[in-house]
């Protein structure tokens, strides 16, 4: 049986996706990333495989995990990301999320949270490839038992304490449709710069297996020039896209979905604020009755880099509803 690539095969190159971010990439954020950033693909926040099957078994239908799994077809293609270390839990979790209509399932092998890493989940799976392989096998088995053809992908880092070519070889042996890789080791957490030299070495190994390779870390956009493309990095460097199939953008998307676009559109302040209000409204619609504060970090992002916006930013991060956001914005007399 060939590798199930599903929707991944239909995406254009460079593929520009929004990286999963816990506490950030909720359904409203993803909808905006699609609508204004034209994201090729979006991921859910990571969801605990073990937590999911447990709350399902206990019928805790008001648990916050269900909120993290809410999505609309307009975000499509949307990939659900699971984390954990126990292959059996991944099987049970896949039996639940597999039926929910996601376009793919991704396994987190890169989260640097020390507790999770220590217990063998997230980036901890890099240290125990045998377990990582069993996790992939169990997710695939569940997908098969559900009679589905969902692609099962992996998002990881370049290594645990140093870049690890053995890890890349191992990933290549798994016949994955896609590997997304953050150019830092577990040990680096988020310090220093993502190493794009190492990412290109890893991409060469992994793409030989037929997998697509999405590079990640410090990307603030892509630049397309005829048939060639480059990734623009925070450092100001522009890296040739040639060794990769695309990129995932994380932190730079917060309040700035336009970084995902390939047409170079840069919005003016009025457009940014209109979309800030739109995201706040979408959040309230998707999560009625929920606390508003998760929206605030996005609101700050929408005015980041804007000159003399200190006062505006201070007001935005104190808001408690979409109506309040709109009121603050209207006071500026630019909408
Ligand atoms: C607040 C936050 C939450 C994150 N949550 C996740 C997650 O749930 N799953 C995951 O694979 N990576 C997660 N990441 C890592 C990002 O997906 C990405 O790999 C990392 O931020 C580097 O990309 P960037 O420089 O574009 O932000 C998270 C990162 C941040 C900053």
pLDDT at 3: 79
Burial class (CB in 10 A: 0-12, 13-18, 19+), 131: middle
Q: With 0.85 as the threshold, say if the pTM is over it.
A: yes
> Measured from the CA of 106, which atom of ligand 1 is nearest?
11
**C-alpha 57: how far from its chain's center?**
27
Please give the Cα distance from 109 to 120 (Å, whole number): 9
Which helix or strand (DSSP H or E) is residue 141 part of?
helix 129-145
∠220-221-227 over CA atoms, to 5°? 150
Span from the CA of 147 to the centroid of ligand 1 (angstroms): 31
| Whether residue 132 has its Cβ less than 6 Å from ligand 1 | no
pLDDT at 1: 45
Encode the chain (335 residues) as per-residue pLDDT tens digits: 467 899 999 999 999 999 999 999 999 999 999 999 999 999 999 999 999 999 999 999 999 999 999 999 999 999 999 999 999 999 999 999 999 999 999 999 999 999 999 999 999 999 999 999 999 999 999 999 999 999 999 999 999 999 999 999 999 999 999 999 999 999 999 999 999 999 999 999 999 999 999 999 999 999 999 889 999 999 999 999 999 999 999 999 999 999 999 999 999 999 999 999 999 999 999 999 999 999 999 999 999 988 889 999 999 999 999 999 999 999 987 76
| Phi and psi at residue 119, to the nearest 5° | -80, 5
| Phi and psi at residue 290, to the nearest 5° | -80, 160
Structure tokens at 123: 């980036």
Strand partners, 42: 18, 78
Please give the Cα distance from 320 to 303 (Å, whole number): 17
In the chain, % helix, strand, coil (3-state, to 5) comes to 45, 20, 40
Question: Sheet harboring 228-233: ordered strands across?
Answer: 219-225, 228-233, 238-240
Structure tokens at 101: 């209509």
- 185: which DSSP letter? E
Contact in structure between 182 and 192 (CB atoms under 8 Å): no
Can you tell me which residue has the tokens 């799994």? Answer: 69
| Whether residue 315 has its Cβ less than 6 Å from ligand 1 | no
Which helix or strand (DSSP H or E) is residue 330 part of?
helix 322-330
- Residues 6 or more apart from 272 whose CB is under 8 A from it? 255, 302, 303, 306
Q: Measuring from atom 18 of ligand 1, which residue has the nearest CA?
A: 250
Contact in structure between 20 and 106 (CB atoms under 8 Å): yes
Please give the Cα distance from 171 to 202 (Å, whole number): 10
Span from the CA of 64 to the centroid of ligand 1 (angstroms): 19
pLDDT at 335: 62
The structural architecture, per CATH, of the domain 6-260 is Alpha-Beta Barrel (3.20)
């Amino acid at each position: 049986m060939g590798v199930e690539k599903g929707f991944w095969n239909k995406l254009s190159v460079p593929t520009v996706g929004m990286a999963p971010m816990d506490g950030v990439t909720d359904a409203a954020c993803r909808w905006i990333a699609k609508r204004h950033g034209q994201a090729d693909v979006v991921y859910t926040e990571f969801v605990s495989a073990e937590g999911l099957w447990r709350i399902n078994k206990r019928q805790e239908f008001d648990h916050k995990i269900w909120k993290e799994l809410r999505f609309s077809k307009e975000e499509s293609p949307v990939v659900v990301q699971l984390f954990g270390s126990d292959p059996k839990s991944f099987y049970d979790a896949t039996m639940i999320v597999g039926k929910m209509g996601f376009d793919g399932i991704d396994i987190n092998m890169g989260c640097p949270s020390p507790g999770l890493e220590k217990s063998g989940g997230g980036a901890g799976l890099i240290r125990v490839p045998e377990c990582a392989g069993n996790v992939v096998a169990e997710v695939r088995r569940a997908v098969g038992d559900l009679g589905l053809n969902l692609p099962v992908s992996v998002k990881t880092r370049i290594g645990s304490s140093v870049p690890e070519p053995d890890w890349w070889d191992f990933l290549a042996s798994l016949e994955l449709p896609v590997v997304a890789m953050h150019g830092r080791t577990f040990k680096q957490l988020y310090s220093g710069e993502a190493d794009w030299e190492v990412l290109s070495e890893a991409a060469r190994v992994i793409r030989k297996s037929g997998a697509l390779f999405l590079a990640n870390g410090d990307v603030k956009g892509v630049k397309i020039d005829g048939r060639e493309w480059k990734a623009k990095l925070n450092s100001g460097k522009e890296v040739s896209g040639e060794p990769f199939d695309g990129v995932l953008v994380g932190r730079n998307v917060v309040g700035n979905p336009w970084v995902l676009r390939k047409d170079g559109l840069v919005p003016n302040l009025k457009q940014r604020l209109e979309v800030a209000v739109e995201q706040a409204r979408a959040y309230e619609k998707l999560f009625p009755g929920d606390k508003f504060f998760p929206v605030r970090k996005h609101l700050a992002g929408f005015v980041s880099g804007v000159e003399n916006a200190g006062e505006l930013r201070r007001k935005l991060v104190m808001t408690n509803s979409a109506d309040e956001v709109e009121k603050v914005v209207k006071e500026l007399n630019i909408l």
